[in-house]
């Protein structure tokens, strides 16, 4: 299967006929299990091995959190809650899913701007750590604390002065809606002391989808140095030091997997410093797509084949309503093709095709002029690297087609 990028190889063991094996099962059989197309399938084995690799590389004692906005499929969150040390949520809805999935509230943290009083009350009553993003949230938390008689556990989300260079999405540095600017943190810490909230530490999340180990390392060092400077003003020792994540996965031709080794070495050095200078602090790394993105595929069936002015179109029953990311409309600046394949075509004629969905919009493009084995109506079209920001990040109601199925294999 020459279409499959090297990094997807473990996912796509294929039989002699080119039939894909997902979680060790033939794709055609998985379709029967799903009962319909399109669907997403997530491979537990791949997630487990990804987590094992991280555990081996990160310094002992570093906590590994799953940022569940990457994939909030409930069975997957249940699985993750047994596998990692904590779950990061970004809404009260996600908080409920994480707690119902069995996550320990002591190891759940809640970030996100604009938390409502109701959300904050839910978080305080649940006993989770709240990553505070504004002065307003601090004041609301003080009144929630009075009403419930519970001291809220708080960390401050810091909007640092630095950026995570080379990130697909920047979420810190410069003016941002996330966190509290680092220059305003001393004042927020004084407020925490005055309001009697239970201070636990800092949360620094600078960016997402980064494939440059050197950039990730630099941001982690800067985050640690900043936390150390800010800790001087804190009303209590730092116990939680969430250094963010931003570990990316390769989606497009020419992209190389992130080198984990240097990040492990860097974090080991930071941890040694941390043990000396903030001995009560536990370091946390929060990852979304790096844990689950490469473990998922999206599968749709070819339902029509058309030639328009010499260009071949494969029309599938899937589309941007299920997989906005693959259509290039979820934050990409320049549209590029995700890695894709046609199931069960190891050899034979190849052709250049565009793969689309049934929606009445030209945006509904899953692969633009890619070379694939010649496909017929009824064949299965597969998009790799689809385990994160898939079903939940797509406008499923748009145009009224049925929602996709999801399977954990
Ligand atoms: C989105 C988000 C993540 C996860 O990002 P990935 O790119 O999926 O790893 C982690 N932390 C915070 C605060 C986020 O907003």
For the stretch 158-194, pLDDT in tens is 999 988 888 777 778 888 999 999 999 999 999 999 9
Check pocket membership of 271 for ligand 1, CB cut-off 6 A: no
Q: How far apart are CA 241 and CA 372, in angstroms?
A: 47
CA 301 to chain centre: 26
In a domain, 52, yes or no: no
Q: How far apart are the first and last CA of the chain?
A: 22
Kindly report the protein residue whose alpha carbon is nearest to atom 4 of ligand 1: 288
Asked if residue 12 has pLDDT above 70, the reply is no
Q: How far apart are CA 285 and CA 278, in angstroms?
A: 17
Same domain for 92 and 222, yes or no, is yes
In a domain, 64, yes or no: no
Which residue has better confidence, 18 or 76?
Answer: 76
Asked if residue 7 has pLDDT above 90, the reply is no
Rounded distance from Cα 37 to ligand 1 centre (Å): 29
What is residue 8's predicted lDDT score, i.e. its pLDDT? 52
Which of 255, 287, 319 is where one domain is finished?
Answer: 287
Same domain for 179 and 239, yes or no, is yes
Q: What is the mean pLDDT of residues 72-94?
A: 98
Mutate which of 206, 286, 294 for ligand 1? The one with the most ligand atoms within 8 Å of its CB, which is 286
For residue 70, the ligand 1 atom closest to its alpha carbon is: 8
Asked if residue 3 has pLDDT above 80, the reply is no
In a domain, 351, yes or no: yes
Same domain for 22 and 96, yes or no, is no
343: CATH: 2.40.37.10
Check pocket membership of 324 for ligand 1, CB cut-off 6 A: no
Q: Please report, for residues 97, 192, 249, the alpha-carbon distance to residue 256 in angstroms, rounded to integers and kept in the order given.
A: 33, 43, 8
For residue 287, the ligand 1 atom closest to its alpha carbon is: 9
Same domain for 329 and 313, yes or no, is yes
What is residue 174's predicted lDDT score, i.e. its pLDDT? 86
Same domain for 310 and 327, yes or no, is yes
The answer, as to whether pTM is greater than 0.85, is yes
Structure tokens at 174: 């410069």
In a domain, 257, yes or no: yes
How does the average pLDDT of the chain come out, rounded? 94
Cα torsion at 82, 97, 157, 285 (round to 10°)? 20
Q: What is the mean pLDDT of residues 127-138?
A: 98
Q: How far apart are CA 156 and CA 136, in angstroms?
A: 13
Same domain for 359 and 374, yes or no, is yes
Q: What is the mean pLDDT of residues 155-160?
A: 96
Name residues whose C-beta falls within 8 Å of residue 390's C-beta, 6 or more positions apart in sequence. 40, 71, 296, 298, 322, 323, 325
**Is the distance from CB of 265 to CB of 17 less than 8 angstroms?**
no
Q: Which domain holds residue 228?
A: 72-287
CA 94 to chain centre: 13
Q: Which of 223, 129, 238, 130 is nearest to 172 (CA)?
A: 223
Same domain for 340 and 250, yes or no, is no
Check pocket membership of 209 for ligand 1, CB cut-off 6 A: yes
In a domain, 55, yes or no: no
Q: What is the mean pLDDT of residues 287-313?
A: 98
Rounded distance from Cα 324 to ligand 1 centre (Å): 18
Kindly report the protein residue whose alpha carbon is nearest to atom 10 of ligand 1: 67
Check pocket membership of 69 for ligand 1, CB cut-off 6 A: yes
Same domain for 282 and 320, yes or no, is no
Which of 232, 252, 287 is where one domain is finished?
Answer: 287
Q: Please report, for residues 154, 164, 209, 285, 360, the alpha-carbon distance to residue 168 in angstroms, rounded to integers and kept in the order given.
A: 29, 10, 5, 18, 29
What is residue 355's predicted lDDT score, i.e. its pLDDT? 98
Same domain for 14 and 79, yes or no, is no
Rounded distance from Cα 70 to ligand 1 centre (Å): 7
In a domain, 60, yes or no: no
Same domain for 111 and 254, yes or no, is yes
Same domain for 298 and 281, yes or no, is no
Three-state secondary-structure class, residue 77: helix
Q: How far apart are CA 246 and CA 253, in angstroms?
A: 20
Rounded distance from Cα 26 to ligand 1 centre (Å): 32
What is residue 170's predicted lDDT score, i.e. its pLDDT? 78
Check pocket membership of 109 for ligand 1, CB cut-off 6 A: no
In a domain, 250, yes or no: yes
What is residue 1's predicted lDDT score, i.e. its pLDDT? 41
In a domain, 56, yes or no: no
What is residue 262's predicted lDDT score, i.e. its pLDDT? 98
Asked if residue 406 has pLDDT above 50, the reply is yes
Rounded distance from Cα 60 to ligand 1 centre (Å): 22
**Count of domains for the chain:** 2
Check pocket membership of 94 for ligand 1, CB cut-off 6 A: no
Beta strand segments in 119-230, E: 129-132, 153-159, 169-170, 180-181, 198-203, 207-208
Rounded distance from Cα 168 to ligand 1 centre (Å): 11
Same domain for 250 and 117, yes or no, is yes
Asked if residue 6 has pLDDT above 50, the reply is no
Match 């409309």 to its residue by tokens.
Answer: 329
Residues 358-372 have pLDDT tens digits of 999 999 999 999 999
Rounded distance from Cα 319 to ligand 1 centre (Å): 24
Q: What is the mean pLDDT of residues 309-336?
A: 96
Bridge-based pairing state of the strands 207-208 and 169-170? antiparallel
For residue 90, the ligand 1 atom closest to its alpha carbon is: 15
Asked if residue 385 has pLDDT above 80, the reply is yes
What is residue 346's predicted lDDT score, i.e. its pLDDT? 78
Which of 247, 272, 287 is where one domain is finished?
Answer: 287
Check pocket membership of 167 for ligand 1, CB cut-off 6 A: no
Instruction: Write the DSSP string, 267-328.
Output: HHHHHHHHHHHSTT-EEEEEESHHHHGGGEEEEEEEEEEEEETTEEEEEES--TTT-HHHHT
258: CATH: 3.20.20.10
Asked if residue 386 has pLDDT above 70, the reply is yes
Handedness of CA 136, 140, 142, 143 (dihedral sign): positive
């Amino acid at each position: 299967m020459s279409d499959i990028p090297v990094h997807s190889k473990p996912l796509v063991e294929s039989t002699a006929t080119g039939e894909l094996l997902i979680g060790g099962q033939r794709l055609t059989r998985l379709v029967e299990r799903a009962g319909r197309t399109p669907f997403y399938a997530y491979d537990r084995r791949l997630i487990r091995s990804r987590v094992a690799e991280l555990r081996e590389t990160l310094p002992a004692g570093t906590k590994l959190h799953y940022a569940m906005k990457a994939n909030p499929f409930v069975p997957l969150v249940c699985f993750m809650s047994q596998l990692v040390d904590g779950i990061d949520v970004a809404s009260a809805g996600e908080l409920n899913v994480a707690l119902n999935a069995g996550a320990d509230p002591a190891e759940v943290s809640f970030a996100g701007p604009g938390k409502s009083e109701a959300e904050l009350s839910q978080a305080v009553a649940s006993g989770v750590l709240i990553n505070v993003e504004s002065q307003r949230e601090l004041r609301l938390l003080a009144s929630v604390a009075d009403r419930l008689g519970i001291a809220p556990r708080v960390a401050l989300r810091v909007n640092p002065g630095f950026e995570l260079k080379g990130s697909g999405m920047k979420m810190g540095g410069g003016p941002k809606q996330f966190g509290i600017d680092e220059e305003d943190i001393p004042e927020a810490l004084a407020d925490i002391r005055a309001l009697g909230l239970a201070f636990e530490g800092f949360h620094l999340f600078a960016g997402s989808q980064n494939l440059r180990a050197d950039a990730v390392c630099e941001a982690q060092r800067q985050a640690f140095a900043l936390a150390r400077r800010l800790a001087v003003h804190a009303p209590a020792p730092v116990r939680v030091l969430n250094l963010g994540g931003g570990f990316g996965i390769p989606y497009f031709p020419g992209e190389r997997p992130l080198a984990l080794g240097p990040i492990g070495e860097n974090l080991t050095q930071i941890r040694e410093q941390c043990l000396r200078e903030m001995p009560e602090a536990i370091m946390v790394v929060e990852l979304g797509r790096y844990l689950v993105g490469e473990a998922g595929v999206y599968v749709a069936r070819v339902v029509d084949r058309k030639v328009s002015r010499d260009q071949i179109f494969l029309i599938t029953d899937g589309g941007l309503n299920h997989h906005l990311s693959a259509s290039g409309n979820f934050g990409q600046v320049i549209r590029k093709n995700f890695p894709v394949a046609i199931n069960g075509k190891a050899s034979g004629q190849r052709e250049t095709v565009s793969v689309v969905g049934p929606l009445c919009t030209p945006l509904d493009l899953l692969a633009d002029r890619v070379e694939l084995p010649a496909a017929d109506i009824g064949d299965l079209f597969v998009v790799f690297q689809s385990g994160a920001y898939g079903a939940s990040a797509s406008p499923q109601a748009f145009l009224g087609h049925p929602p996709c199925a999801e399977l954990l294999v």
